[in-house]
Structure formats: C-alpha cells, structure tokens
C-alpha cells in the first residue's frame, strides 16, 4: 500500500477548509497551520493535524514546521504567501511540493510591471501605465498618463495598497499611504501608476496550465461589483457580453498561459469598457476566492485538479472545456458595517445558521461561538448559488441570504440582500464604479410592529436562552411564552 500523502494548507479560515475537503476526497491527510491568536479558527477543527507557527507570513517558521511534520505538499490558498516566489522556493528547497505555479511565473506575474511587458510582447492589450522608481518624478509620469489614475502595489492584489488619484494634489499623500498598506499586506512597498477607465467592467478568465505551455480555460467570471477594489459579488458566466469578446478574452488568456508555461490554476484579469475593448489588468497566480462560481458552471473541481496534478503529474490530463451550464453567483460576507462607513465589526459569532437546499453552497470560515479577530481579513464566508438561468440564480441568492443567520458580529448581509433587488444588478448592467458611485445603501429599519417584536423578545430573554439551558429555568420551561404589553 502506498503511504498516505500529507498536505499542509498554508492558510486559514474558509479556503483551508475548502482544500481539506478535496484532500479528504482524495485520501490525503490534512494539516492545518495555526498561530496562537487564531486558535479558535474553523480550519483548526477540520484538520487531521495542526502545526503551530509564529505567523502566517513567516516563511522560515512554516517551512521548518512543515519539514519536521514530513509534509509532502503545501497548498497556499489565496492571500498570505500564495503569490510569494520566495515562499515557493523555500518550500521546494526543503523537498516539499508546492501546489501552484512555478516561482519564476509568480515572480514575473507578481511584478505587475513585468507582467504588463509580457502582455505587450504577446499582443495582449494593456492600459497606459508607468513605473514609479523615484517619488520626485511621480508627478511628471502621472501627468503623462493623465488623471484620473490608479496607484497600485507592484506586488499583491485584493485592492490592498491601491489608491484612486483624481488630481495632482492628491498624488503624494496617496502614494505614501498606498506604499505603507502594501508594505503591511505584502511585505513590499513598490508602486506603479495606471490609467483609470471611467466605468469599466471587471472580467476575468479562469485558466489551468499543464506547466509545459499547454492549458485550458474555464470560461469567464464577472467581478464588477467591488468596493475599494475588494470584490463583493462575482458571477459566471458574464451577462451582456458578446461571444466575440469572450472568445478574445479566452485567446489572450491562453496566450499568457503559453508564454509563462503556466502550471496549475490561475486567473487572467481584464477590464472591458462599454465598447467591449479589452485591457489586460494582471494575472493572479493562485486559486481565487471566487473559484466556486467557475466550478459550478463547468462541473470542474479546481482544487482537486490542483492536487491531482502534483500527486501524479504523468497521468494527470487537463480536461477539455465543455460549454458552461447555468449561472452561478457568489457573494462575500464580510465583518463590516455598511451603515457606518464599512468599519470593521469583529466580535463573537453568537448565532450562526446557514441555508441549505438546491443550488446553494456555503464556503464558511466561521463557527458559532467563535471570536472574529481584528488581525485577519474581514471575510467571514462565501455564499454561492447556482441556477439554470441567471434569474433563478438571483432568486436563490435572495432566498439564501434571507436564510443566513450570523448574529453577534455586524455583517454586510443586509447590504448584499439589498443589492439583489437593485434594477442595475437585476439587469446585469454594472461597472466597477457601481457600488461606490451609484448604489445607495439604506439600512433596514424595523417597522413599529417589528420594533414591538424586538422589545418583546428582549424582555422575555429570547436572545439569552441557550440550548443547554432548556428546561433548567422555570419561566422558559414551556415552549410558548406569552407577553402582555410593554408598559415599563
């Protein structure tokens, strides 16, 4: 009998749990990593074994612990070290297999500038851009490209280290704060500037490469609904986009797969304007948060494919793409308060209940009773739905959001629910500017009747009752309470 393989997920929360599922289906032993402050996190519960590390960004500590535990493979998830070539090198140097593209591909694509040059070389259109090597020359370069523009971190993604600059007066302060954020998030502060399109759509293509220049695409995703460059809502396939444009997107993406001899799962991001002109944005050399929508319309299991590719590279064959089926939407539940300017809302998850039923998938990183920490990303979970049509998918999303219960921490749940009813969302006519410039969020204020319900519930201690106290308190012995009036 073959020795069971061991896989460490160098990540936390929902994505670690997602990878663990694929591991268990493949008979691979699962290892989680954990820092002292993250002891309560959900992925720690679901792993076969747990390795304690000093920090999720500490390459030496992680590789050393992995080597000691005789780990065969490391899956980096997304964020953290997932796009750090030095991590890949350290992992491979220690004799452990890294699941993802080669360090050299990451290095190239991680340097957004080198990536742009590569795209240009392969006749993939890019936005006008300039590198910032000297802060003193920043204003000159910015003028040349023209305002408005974007300041971006040369490494990293997810909107961190990115700033909008509308005019010259904002430039220096924006550059400083973006550099600091990039330093904190990716350990590197270098920036570049790029022309900002007015209301583009964000369309990306899921690819999977064999590492030899061959590869397949798994169609496109539309991720135009973003706030501060943080994706909030993703769909596959894109609506209101011509087949001709889609085919171009696939062609460009596969060109880059070929040029980099891309291995494993990756995403090529584009901006598309209202004339359906395409601009290459960047390539993300990792599995993405929104991979489930692609999995749902293609039937692929991207994580399973990633693992199988490294377990048995010889017999692993990339499956040809089939036509996508139906429509899938993902929303990200964040610990933030949309009403108070999206301030973070850490706290204790006091009540938690997830929806189930046809066409509903929940990739969660939280459990009831868990403290949501301030030191980590605010994403709590992803709610993903599928329907034969977009209309059905949207109806399912409404249902799924209504059935979602996360109490004790503030979330953007009501915000997402309200989005489902917006005419532009219903018609799939949104751009990357929609959430910040067009969408007006209003909180749900309870009606008089609902208010009286809340007060009654409070006075009867409905929220304080715990399952384990059932029957132990005399006045809540009966399943029915009656409450007469609210006179103090």
Partner 1 sequence: MTKKIKVYGESIELTDNTTVWKFDHRPGGWVIASCKDKNGKTIRKRIYYTELQKNFWVNINGKVSCGKFEDTRKSSSATQTNDDLVAQFPGKVRKILVEEGDQVKEGESLILIEAMKMEFTIKAPFAGIIKEVLVKAGQQLSPGDVYFNMKA
Q: Which residues bind partner 1 (CB under 8 A)?
A: 160, 177, 180-181, 184-185, 228, 335-336, 339-340, 343-346, 348, 350-351, 353, 374-378, 401-403, 405, 407-408, 410-411, 413-414, 417, 443-446, 448-458, 460, 462-465, 467, 479-488
What's the closest the beta carbon of residue 404 comes to partner 1, in angstroms? 8
Residue closer to partner 1, measured from CB, 46 or 399: 399
Q: Which of residues 318 and 343 has its CB atom nearest to partner 1 in the complex? A: 343
The token duo for 187 is 């350990």
Of the pair 316, 444, the CB lying nearest partner 1 is at 444
Closest approach of partner 1 to the CB of residue 287, in Å? 19
Give whichever of 312 and 482 is closer to partner 1, judged by the CB atom.
482
User: Smallest distance from the beta carbon of 412 to partner 1, in angstroms?
Assistant: 10
Q: Say if residues 436 and 363 touch (Cβ distance below 8 Å).
A: no
What tokens does 31 get? 């290892």
Six-digit token pair at 422?
């917006």
- CA 295, 298, 301, 307 dihedral sign is negative
Q: How far is the CB of 175 from partner 1 (least distance, A)?
A: 14
Q: Could you write out the DSSP letters of every residue in 44-93?
A: HHH-SEEEE-S-TT-HHHHHHHHHHTT--EEE--SSTTTT-HHHHHHHHH
Total length of the chain: 488
- Kindly name the residue from 163, 286, 332, 361 that is annotated as catalytic: 286
Q: Is 24 labeled as catalytic in the residue annotation? A: no
Rounded to 5°, the CA angle 108-16-21 comes to 115
DSSP-based three-state secondary structure for 401: helix
Asked if residue 426 lies in contact with residue 393, where contact means CB atoms within 8 angstroms, the answer is no
User: Whose Cβ is closer to partner 1: residue 238's or residue 372's?
Assistant: 372
Helix (H) or strand (E) holding 7, with range, is strand 6-9
Residues 427 and 259: their CA atoms lie apart, in Å, by: 37
Which own/partner contact pairs does 178-184 have at CB distance under 8 Å and 24+ positions apart? 178/151, 178/152, 178/153, 179/153, 181/153, 182/153, 182/154, 182/155, 182/156
In whole angstroms, the minimum distance from the beta carbon of 170 to partner 1 comes to 11
Distant-in-sequence, close-in-space partners of 158: CB < 8 Å, separation ≥ 6: 79, 185, 229, 230
Based on CB atoms, which residue is closest to partner 1, 275 or 477? 477
The residue among 214 and 344 lying less far from partner 1, judged by its C-beta, is: 344
In the bound complex, what is the minimum distance in angstroms from residue 173's beta carbon to partner 1?
8
Least gap, CB of 17 to partner 1 (angstroms): 19
Burial (CB count <10 Å: 0-12, 13-18, 19+), residue 60: exposed
Catalytic residues: 286
């Amino acid at each position: 009998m073959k020795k069971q393989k061991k896989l460490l997920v160098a990540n936390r929360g929902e994505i670690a749990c997602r990878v663990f599922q694929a591991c268990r289906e493949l008979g691979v032993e699962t290892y989680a990593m954990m820092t002292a402050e993250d002891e309560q996190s959900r992925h720690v519960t679901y792993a076969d074994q747990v390795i304690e590390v000093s920090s999720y960004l500490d390459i030496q500590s992680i590789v050393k612990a992995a080597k000691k535990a005789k780990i065969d493979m490391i899956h980096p998830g997304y964020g953290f070290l997932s796009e750090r070539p030095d991590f890949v090198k350290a992992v491979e140097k220690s004799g452990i297999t890294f699941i993802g593209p080669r360090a050299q591909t990451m290095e190239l694509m991680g340097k957004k500038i080198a990536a742009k040059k590569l795209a240009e070389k392969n006749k993939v259109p890019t936005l006008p851009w300039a590198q910032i090597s000297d802060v003193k020359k920043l204003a000159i370069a910015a003028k040349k490209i023209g305002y408005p523009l974007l300041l971006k971190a040369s490494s990293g993604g997810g909107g961190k280290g990115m700033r909008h600059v509308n005019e010259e007066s904002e430039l220096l302060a924006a550059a400083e704060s973006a550099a600091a954020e990039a330093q904190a998030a990716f350990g590197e502060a270098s920036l570049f500037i790029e022309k900002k399109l007015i209301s583009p759509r964000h369309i990306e293509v899921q690819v999977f490469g064999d590492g030899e220049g061959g590869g397949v695409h798994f169609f496109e995703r539309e991720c135009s609904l973003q706030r501060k460059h943080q994706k909030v809502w993703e769909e596959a396939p894109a609506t209101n986009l011509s087949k001709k444009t889609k085919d171009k997107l696939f062609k460009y993406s596969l060109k880059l797969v070929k040029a980099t001899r891309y291995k494993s799962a990756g995403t090529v991001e584009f901006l598309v304007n209202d004339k359906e002109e395409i601009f290459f944005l960047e390539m993300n050399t990792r599995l993405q948060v929104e991979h489930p929508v692609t999995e749902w319309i293609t039937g692929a299991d991207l994580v399973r494919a990633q693992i199988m590719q490294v377990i048995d590279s010889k017999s692993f064959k990339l499956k040809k793409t089939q036509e996508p089926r139906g429509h899938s939407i993902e929303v990200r539940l964040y610990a933030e308060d949309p009403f108070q300017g999206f301030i973070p809302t850490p706290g204790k998850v006091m009540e938690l209940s997830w929806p189930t039923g046809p066409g509903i998938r929940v990739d969660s990183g939280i459990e009831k009773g868990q403290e949501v920490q301030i030191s980590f990303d605010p994403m709590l979970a992803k709610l993903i739905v599928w329907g034969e049509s977009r209309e059905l998918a949207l109806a399912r999303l409404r249902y799924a959001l209504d059935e979602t219960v996360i109490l004790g921490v503030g979330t953007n749940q009501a915000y997402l629910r309200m989005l489902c009813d917006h005419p532009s969302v219903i018609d799939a006519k949104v751009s990357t500017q929609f959430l910040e410039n067009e969408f007006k969020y209003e909180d749900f204020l309870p009606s008089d009747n609902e208010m009286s319900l809340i007060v009654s519930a409070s006075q009867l201690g409905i929220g304080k009752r715990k399952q384990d106290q059932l029957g132990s308190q005399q006045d809540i012995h009966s399943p029915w309470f009656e409450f007469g009036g609210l006179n103090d």
